[in-house]
Structure 1
Amino acid sequence: MRTHSSDLLLTAIAPVVWGSTYIVTTQFLPNFSPMTVAMLRALPAGLLLLAIVRQLPTGIWWRRIFVLGALNISIFLSMLFVAAYRLPGGVAATVAAVQPLFAVFLASALLASPLRPLSILAALVGIGGVALLVLTPRAGLDAVGVAAGLTAAASMAVGNILTRKWQPPVSLLTFTAWQLTAGGILLVPVVLIFAPTIPAPTVTNLFGLVWLGLIGAALTYVLWFRGIARLESAVVSPLLFISPLTAVLLGWMFLDQTLSPIQIAGIVFVIGSIWLSQRPAR
């Protein structure tokens, strides 16, 4: 139980940090394109870790790493930032909150994991809680932003399942370095085509990029992939509900946003969904 609890807490650090993505993106990188931010978040962090581990994939792992890099890094991050730039407040987090529900069915199909009704209930409760948190009367919806958020959720759900299915014969740090580097490389031609001009970074921009890259990518992906390898998908995926919870709390603390009674109820729902997801199967 102690090992499980420590694994759970370490894994939960990742979505807590990811919850800061929206406020950092909008406040520190307002003039950057979503694809540029995604590439600058992944590639430098991946190359830094690759320089540390000094090991490249071999054989079938070249193909697998680029598949995982596309799903977990390239598609997920680029679509996440498109949603963050186009959707107000934490609406992007609401759309991405369907990821745990995707993961429940994908784990059953790809990993032959039992389809637990409690896991489905936990995912639905979490989605409802996130909706109460961020879908305020002032929240607007952008079709492209919503589509991007759903794409990010689906991409990460598939990537997480395949990450658990394809356990690599290397250390966790090496595995993370490979995925971040591959995902960043795949984003380079996209940036060159759609956003060839990168603004000259200010000190504020550099702080945002360092936070998103070193802390929000290099550190958190190591912790996240560690959790995926050690814990069941139905246990790990609901932890993502912590991200919108963190985003709302950061907005309350630093952007003078207020928490209504409905939003407080949403917090209770999110915490309840995480608790439900951790209940042992009968």
Structure 2
Amino acid sequence: METTWRWVLLTAIAPIAWGSTYYVSREFLPADAPLWGAVLCALPAALLLPVVRPIRPRGAWWWRASILGALNVGVFFALVYLVAQLLPTSVASTVMATSPVAMMLLARLLAGERLRAIPMIGAAIGLAGVVLLLAGDAGAVDPLGVVASVIAMLLSSLGYVLAKRWRDGTDVLAVTWWQLLAGGAMLVPAALLVEGAPRALDGAGVAAFAYVSIVATAIAFVAWFGGLAHLPAGTVGLIGLLNPVTGVLLGVLLAGEVLGGWQVAGLALVLAGILLGQVRLVPTRVRRAATGTEVPNTPRARMLTSAAGAAAAAPRPDDRGTHGPTLVAPREVHA
């Protein structure tokens, strides 16, 4: 259980970092260059991670990295950067908050994960909390921004589930920088064609891009894909609801915004939804069978384990009693 919660906390780094990018993008980054913005987020991170893990793609990972790079980085980054300029944070965050449901459904179709009621209920509660948390901050809604936000949510959910399905023990750091490099590189021609040469940046812009690239991209993506490798997709998706929570809290801390009663209630609902989705990660008391296999302490499991233990302790027909009963390892019992 301790190991599982360690992965939950590590995964939470990603949405917290991503939630901060709404504020950083609006305050410090140019609004009219979304493609170059995506390139400058992805490529510096892609060039940094190989220093830590200099592993080149092999076999199927050449084409897998290209697909994941497009879904999780290239197209996604450009859309998110565009959404940050077209939509209020409330609307963008609400659309992205539907990602846990999309991930659960896609994980069922593509990765064989079972749909479970409690995480789905947690996702519904969390989404309701996001709506309350960001209520009253909608402002003007640009239809193009809404469409871009929905597409970004669906593509990223598909990319995350594919990354989970394709996990084969390959180093997470390596898989992350392959995606960032592939996604960033495919954006360069489009950026040159559509936006021309990259714009000059002042000191604040350089610092903002450094933060977004290193913290909100390199570190965040490693944490996110590490979580996908060790946790159910629905659990990871629910942790992603910390994204809008972070955005609102940064508004309170940095922009002097004040939380109203509905927003406090929304914040509580979001956190309740996230925690509810983790219930399945908290096992009932367990005990070890003779083989060391952990068996849930449910009535049926206790009955089956006791029967297996009794069978194991019973003397075998060929035992002659000279060395005591021969212990036979019980078969694994699935409750």
Fold similarity call, TM over 0.5: yes
Secondary structure of 1:141's counterpart equals coil
Equivalent residues of 1:228, 1:236 under 8 A apart:
yes
Larger RCO: Structure 1 or Structure 2 (Cα < 8 Å, ≥ 6 residues apart)? 1
Q: Paired residue for 2:15?
A: 15
Runs of 4+ in 1 over 3 A off after TM superposition: none
Q: Is the 8 A contact 1:100 1:238 kept in 2?
A: yes
Distance 2:173 2:157 in 1: 21
Q: Does 1:202 find its partner at 2:202?
A: yes
**Is residue 2:74 matched to residue 1:74?**
yes
Give 1:127 deviation, angstroms: 1.2
Q: CA deviation at 1:140?
A: 2.3
Partner in structure 1 of residue 315 of structure 2? none
Decide whether the 8 Å contact of 1:32 with 1:198 is kept in 2: no
For 1:230 and 1:93, the matched residues in 2 are separated by 25
More helix per residue: 1
For the residues of structure 2 that align with 1:139 and 1:181, how far apart are their CA atoms?
Answer: 36
Identity across aligned pairs (percent)? Answer: 36
Task: State how far apart, in whole Å, the 2-side matches of 1:200 and 1:182 are.
Answer: 24
**Residues 80-159 of structure 1 correspond to what in structure 2 (within 5 A)?**
80-136=80-136, 138-159=138-159
Cα deviation 1:96-136 (Å, max 9, x = unaligned): 11111101111111111111122221111111111111231
Contact 1:168–1:175 under 8 Å retained in 2: no
Contact 1:90 1:247 in 2 (8 A): no
Larger mean CA deviation between 165-174 and 245-254 belongs to: 165-174
Matched residue SS, 1:115: coil
Residues 16 and 243 in structure 1, CA contact (< 8 A), matched pair in contact too: yes
Deviates more, 1:75-84 or 1:167-176: 167-176
Secondary structure (helix, strand or coil) at the match of 1:170 reads coil
2:88·2:137 contact (CA, 8 Å) conserved in 1?
A: no
Aligned residues: 282
Farther off after superposition, 48-57 or 124-133? 48-57
Give me the TM-score of the superposition, normalised by structure 1: 0.95
- Conserved? CA contact 1:173–1:222, under 8 Å: yes
Question: Which residue pairs with 1:279 in the alignment?
Answer: 279
Q: Corresponding residue for 2:270?
A: 270
State how 1:235-250 maps to structure 2 within 5 Å: 235-250=235-250
Partner Cα separation in structure 2 for residue 89 and residue 63 of structure 1: 34
Q: Kindly tell me: are residues 228 and 137 of structure 1, through their superposed partners in 2, closer, same or farther at Cα, counting changes over 3 Å?
A: closer
User: Max radius of gyration: which structure?
Assistant: 2
Per the alignment, residue 29 of structure 2 pairs with 29
Whether the aligned pair in 2 keeps the contact of 1:31 and 1:199 (CA below 8 Å) is no
Distance in structure 2 (CA, Å) of the matches to 1:99 and 1:138: 20
Cα displacement (A) at 1:170: 3.0
Paired with 1:36 and 1:259, the residues of 2 have a C-alpha distance of: 34
SS, match of residue 66 in structure 1 = helix
Distance in 1 of aligned mates of 2:223 and 2:32 = 27
Match of 2:309 in 1: none
- Matched AA of 2:15: P
Task: Give me the CA root mean square deviation.
Answer: 1.6
